[in-house]
């Protein structure tokens, strides 16, 4: 996938999922699961990989999350950045990008 196309696609996913992030309160585990589910749905819609295949790589994505996204400088972490990370990580694990 071309970088500009991927950038537009990622931004579309971020714009679509970001409204699910609760504002004005701490994010609970259930909130994160809703956001993760929405990202996984976007991955399926964009790739056609199927829920089963996406579920197979979910553990790898979540296992790598603290070591990859979690090591970013605090000022580089945001809900938008997390959504983008999750989406692109799923694509990489599915060998789509």
pLDDT digits (tens, 9 = 90+) for 28-76: 888 899 999 999 999 999 999 999 999 999 999 999 999 999 999 989 9
Contact 43, 90 (CB under 8 A): yes
User: Rounded to whole angstroms, how far apart are CA atoms 9 and 19?
Assistant: 17
Tokens found for residue 17: 């999922």
pLDDT tier for residue 2 given thresholds of 50, 70 and 90 = confident
> For residue range 78-90, what is the model confidence (pLDDT) as tens digits?
999 999 999 999 9
| Domains contained in the chain, number | 1
Give me the half-sphere count of Cα atoms (radius 13 Å) on the Cβ side of residue 67. 6
Task: Give the range of the structural domain holding residue 50, as residue numbers without chain letter.
Answer: 3-93
List all residues 6 or more positions away from 46 whose beta carbon is below 8 Å from its beta carbon: 9, 13
Which residue would you say has higher pLDDT here, 88 or 26? 88
Question: 47 near 91, Cβ under 8 Å?
Answer: yes
Q: Which pLDDT score, from 0 to 100, does residue 44 have?
A: 96
| Confidence (pLDDT) at 84 | 97
What pLDDT was estimated at residue 1?
Answer: 62
In the structure encoding, which two tokens stand for residue 81, read together? Answer: 């950045």
- Rounded to two decimals, what is the model's pTM? 0.91
């Amino acid at each position: 996938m071309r970088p500009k196309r991927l950038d537009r696609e990622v931004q579309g996913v971020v714009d679509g999922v970001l409204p699910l992030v609760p504002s004005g309160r701490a994010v609970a585990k259930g909130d994160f699961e809703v956001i993760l589910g929405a990202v996984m749905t976007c991955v399926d819609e964009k790739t056609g990989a199927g829920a089963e295949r996406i579920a197979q790589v979910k553990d790898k994505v979540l296992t790598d999350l603290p070591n990859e996204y979690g090591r970013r400088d605090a000022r580089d972490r945001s809900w938008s950045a997390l959504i983008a990370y999750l989406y692109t990580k799923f694509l990489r694990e599915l060998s789509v990008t």
